Amino acid sequence: MNKMNSSFKVLLAFVLMLGLNISVFSQNPLDNKTLMTIGNEDVTVADFMKTYTKNNTVEEMTKDGALDEYMDLFVNFKLKVMEAKALKIDTIPSFKKELEGYRKQLAKPYFIDESVNEALLKEAYNRKLKDLRASHILIMVDENATPEDTLKAYNKIMNIRKEILVGKDFGEAAVEYSDDPSAKDQEEIPNKQRFRKGNEGDLGYFTVFNMVYPFESAAYNTPVGEISMPIRTRFGYHLLNVASKSDALGVAQVAHIYVTLRPNPSDEDVAQKEEKINNIYAKIQEGMSFEDAVVKYSEDKGSAKNKGQLSKFTCNRVVPEFVDAAKSLKPGEISEPIRTMYGFHIVKLLSRQTPGTFDEEKDELKERLSKDDRTHKSEEVVIEKIKKNSGFKVNEKRKYQIITLIDSTVLDGKFIADSLVFKSKSLFKIANKKYSQADFVNFVAKNQKRQENMDKRVYLNNLFKDFVKQELLAYADSNLEKDYPEFADLMKEYHDGILLFNLTDEKVWNKAVKDTIGQQEFFEKHRSDYMWGERVEATVFRMRNPADYDKAMEIIANYDNDGDIAKALDEDSIKTVRIIPDIFEKGQNTFVDQVEWKTGVSELIKSDVENLAVVVKIKKVLPPQEKELKEARGMVTADYQTFLEKEWIKELRSKYPVQINDEVLNALKAQPISDTK
């Protein structure tokens, strides 16, 4: 499945190469010439070059064979789409539903007022330049709560604020009052839940788009050290205490050496782990490289394989201590040991990219803005524009009549449209389409919900606004392709991308997984490509108590069977030896890699930063040998997919002949790169 998802992203990215940029290169005398014919479809130079220049830098395009290589990709893409259309995959209901889902997402930016959006963009940019660290107290109240419940929540949080202003610690108040469960310690529940220390309301660092918009705005507008007035979000009321506002971290990448702490550790546990991390740090100070220390000592085995390197992060993605460390370092510098809720770390800053200029950040901010709730600020402006452009007109008298006729059962969510007997008349008009009183009545019956303490007229007026907005947006949406040619182009790209994914899934990805017979035959023909390197059958003995080393070594040397060794250790009350048997490859275990690969018991390997000694007992050295299919399934499946892809392309090229106009191609190659852009 991961393979399929990854491949879809690659395919869709390639599909999105195929449009929108007709204006990115100047008029070329070859533009209208036919560069190639695929099946019965001619492809002009302009059709090809708008994708080639869009997706390659000048440097890439100057490389030998670059154009020919890209032409192969382009042809293969066009062949697959052509086949998908021939098979009428775009008529399948599931395809139409998926495409409609993408259309809804792609249409969103067209319902944002540009002037409002520009102001929001500038605001977002200014906020992106700063990271905030803040704590909050939440008193939950539903966004549609009654006025009484809303007032009750407001009064409660105001009383909490008064307590804090006269001296109560904000963190203590968060633990005592906040409805955010993360503020309090979560006690251990055996076999269900590990202990988790509460954050006392501390949200760590965040920046623009990390929080809901009202919360974000309040945080940026609250001075450091002051307690905000209550802020209303869809979750309820919040009090904010902003601890700091600092220059933005941006995007950072670090490597670390990690020594773990279990949840709710004892003082003794903390002291032992702190001593270990300090000893490791001393080794680095004495000249040991950070990377060697990672491999030898770090308890984060996942990152240790990559020299301690972690994924890139922004300020809200990691614990605050990592943000502070990254901000205090220059690339290549190493921090002193720091403690987080997870344990101890030594951090090395690898890279840090701070926000650029407004022009450099604008496109990304605009994309983020299109997916954010704050775009609703421009919705009213957009609605008013649609009303004006569509000649929207409502008959207020008839609106009043129908609202009066609908009875109070609507407040219980039990109104039945058929219960009304009346002569329906036109209620409002959008462009040339008229909407009747009956249309509104049916909308009310479909969308009604039980209401508490709300006047009937107020409720029905709100529903009328919702109905009008729905129809106005539907009208504008239905005209998007006509009003915005670039949107029509984008929809075509997604149309082809989904087609390509569905057919490639059927012909290559899913087939490679399900075709077990074909997979087996492929494996047998290429069995020699899937080999184990030299391995050893061995047991690693990890010992924690120096007093047990000699006796444990004696037992390990005198018994061949791991079970007998475990029994003998137990009889001698040696409880601190961990026995790890396995078949090991190079790189799988640090200690196995350190010893000579020959049968027998190794010398004692002692750690120089903690009480740990290791013995490796090698039972058998296994020569390189071919893997069985079950041992190489992942690699075989991937290779079989590549094979199926190549065979499929051969079939398509036979079905849809490809003819290249060599004269036009040579003329295109002869042009300087600057002339093609």
Arithmetic mean of pLDDT over the chain: 90
pLDDT at 376: 80
DSSP string, 381-427: HHHHHHHHHHT-EE-HHHHHHHHHHS-GGGGGT---GGG------EE
pLDDT digits (tens, 9 = 90+) for 333-379: 999 999 999 999 999 999 999 999 999 999 999 899 888 888 788 88
pLDDT at 675: 60
Instruction: Please state, as a whole number, how many other Cβ atoms lie within 10 Å of the Cβ of residue 460.
Output: 22
Give Dmax over CA atoms of the chain in angstroms.
102
pLDDT at 130: 97
Predicted structure pTM score: 0.54
Mean pLDDT of 510-519: 92
Q: How confident is the model at residue 175 (pLDDT cuts 50, 70, 90)?
A: very high
Mean pLDDT of 242-253: 97
Residue 227 carries which DSSP code?
Answer: B
Domain ranges of the chain: 1-86+488-530+636-677, 130-247, 251-353, 392-478, 531-626
Dist. CA 259–CA 5, nearest whole Å: 35
CATH of the structural domain 251-353, one choice from 2.160.20.60, 3.10.50.40, 3.65.10.10, 3.40.50.11740: 3.10.50.40
Class of domain 531-626: alpha beta
Q: How confident is the model at residue 674 (pLDDT cuts 50, 70, 90)?
A: low
Residue 13 has pLDDT above 80, yes or no: no
Residue 293 has pLDDT above 70, yes or no: yes
CATH level 3 topology of 130-247? Chitinase A; domain 3 (3.10.50)
Lowest-pLDDT choice from 183-187, 310-314, 405-409, 617-621: 183-187
pLDDT at 671: 84
Location of structure tokens 């009604």? 448
Selected residue with higher pLDDT from 167 and 31: 167
Mean pLDDT of 229-254: 96
3-class SS letters over 238-290: EEEEEEEEEECCCEEEEEEEEEECCCCCCHHHHHHHHHHHHHHHHHHHCCCCH
pLDDT at 522: 95
Mean pLDDT of 138-151: 82
Residue 12 has pLDDT above 60, yes or no: no
pLDDT at 17: 43
- 85: CB partners within 8 A, 6+ apart: 499
CB distance 135 to 243 below 8 Å:
yes
pLDDT at 194: 79
Dist. CA 677–CA 664, nearest whole Å: 17
pLDDT at 1: 41
Q: Are 130-247 and 251-353 the same fold in CATH?
A: yes
CA 567 to mean position of chain CA atoms: 49
Encoding tokens for residue 195?
């202990």
pLDDT digits (tens, 9 = 90+) for 72-83: 999 999 999 999
